[in-house]
Amino acid sequence: MANKLNEILSASGLYHVYESKAEDGNVVALRGLHVRVMEGEAVAIVGPSGSGKSTLLKCLGGLMKPSAGGVMLNQRMMARLTGNELVKLRQETVSFIFQDANLLNHLNALDNVAQPLRHQGVLPWEARKKAQKLLDRLGMGERSNGIPEELSGGEQQRVSIARALITKPKLILADEPTGALDPITSREILNIFKDLHKNEAVAFLVVTHNREVASFADRSLELRDGRFVAQHGTDVDIGDLTVSREIIIDETGTVTLPPDILAKIGGAGRFELPKLSKDIINFERVESDKIVIEEKGELVLSPNCPACRYDYGTGTLQMCPECGASRPMIKS
């Protein structure tokens, strides 16, 4: 068990219910989740749409109050803080990056990045000086006077990242940070994340569908229907799992699986029976429900174009000169 003093974020028994007047009743988005993120650790949350990923991120970041359970940010229980105390804690500890950059449309890139420091009482000239330095680092120095509508999607996301970094956070919560970007720009953003994680010990909790983003994380948590059903990577802890490996099928055809097997196959869902004979059943999750989770590892540029088989050789081109397809990353 890791030292609790090293936890930057933790949650226990986290539930969230959305009240609804629809016929189906209330929607339970989170079902008793336990999660922790250590200082300098990168954790990915993966799962299908509607599984509760964004709700979890908002609850963990203090943007939404959970229906039950507690969240601790930098060793402080957020539910016990006053509004001003919670704002101050978030400003000092965590920054958010969303799929949409969410920049202030009336401010240029420089002032968007400087804004968090202004809220902390930093003098305008000093805040803008630090913002310019950060934009220079992210390759946006010459675009600092551009307003959001003049910037490309990738440029807006770089500004958003600079804004998130300006307060020197210990933790970054990111919700599909590359979801609206093309593959090449996504890769550039991911390289920035890797540098921050490796060289500045910034912790990450990233909600993503992108296998390259998930592969940079130290571990991945798979979320389905508001529950963690599997973990992959280091420091895995899926709770009190039974040692039994027995599967029980009763007279009604109901199948009961031990928790460790359920976690191993990725949780409940729809399965097909590709092979069926007496005393033998093979289950395979239906293709539409499958989620590919990449373990942490080094990815390299593919030597060949998957579309036209163009041979890149030792070059570092990001786009195929023959057919224009983006060059994918593969495991080394």
Instruction: Give me the domain span that covers residue 326.
Output: 298-332
Range ranked top by mean pLDDT from 107-111, 135-139, 208-212: 107-111
Domain count, the chain: 3
Q: Under a CB-based contact definition with an 8 Å cutoff, are residues 155 and 137 in contact?
A: no
- Tell me if 182 is assigned to some domain: yes
Is 253 found in the same domain as 106? no
35 plus 166 within the same structural domain: yes
One domain, residues 111 and 215: yes
Q: Tens of pLDDT along 61-103?
A: 988 899 999 999 988 998 888 888 888 888 889 999 988 888 9
Q: pLDDT of 183-214, one tens digit each?
A: 887 888 888 888 888 888 899 999 887 777 77
Whether residue 233 lies inside any domain: the answer is: no
Same domain, yes or no, for 163 and 43? yes
Same domain, 101 and 135: yes
Residues 68 and 123 in one domain: yes
Specify whether 135 is located in the same domain as 172: yes
What local confidence, expressed as pLDDT, does residue 245 receive? 47
Q: Give the residue among 78, 73, 67 at the shortest CA–CA distance from 33.
A: 67
Q: What pLDDT was estimated at residue 238?
A: 36
pLDDT of residue 294: 58
Residue spans of alpha helices (H) in the chain: 53-60, 83-93, 109-119, 124-137, 153-165, 183-199, 211-216, 259-264
Q: Are 201 and 248 within one domain?
A: no
pLDDT digits (tens, 9 = 90+) for 242-274: 333 456 676 777 777 665 667 667 777 788 888
**Phi, psi angle pair for 284, to nearest 5°:** -140, 125
Does 5 score more than 80 pLDDT?
no
128 with 105, same domain: the answer is yes
Is the pLDDT at 147 greater than 90, yes or no? yes
Residue 318 and residue 174 share a domain: no
In a domain, 236, yes or no: no
What is the band of 241 on the pLDDT scale with cuts at 50, 70, 90? very low
Same domain, 52 and 185: yes
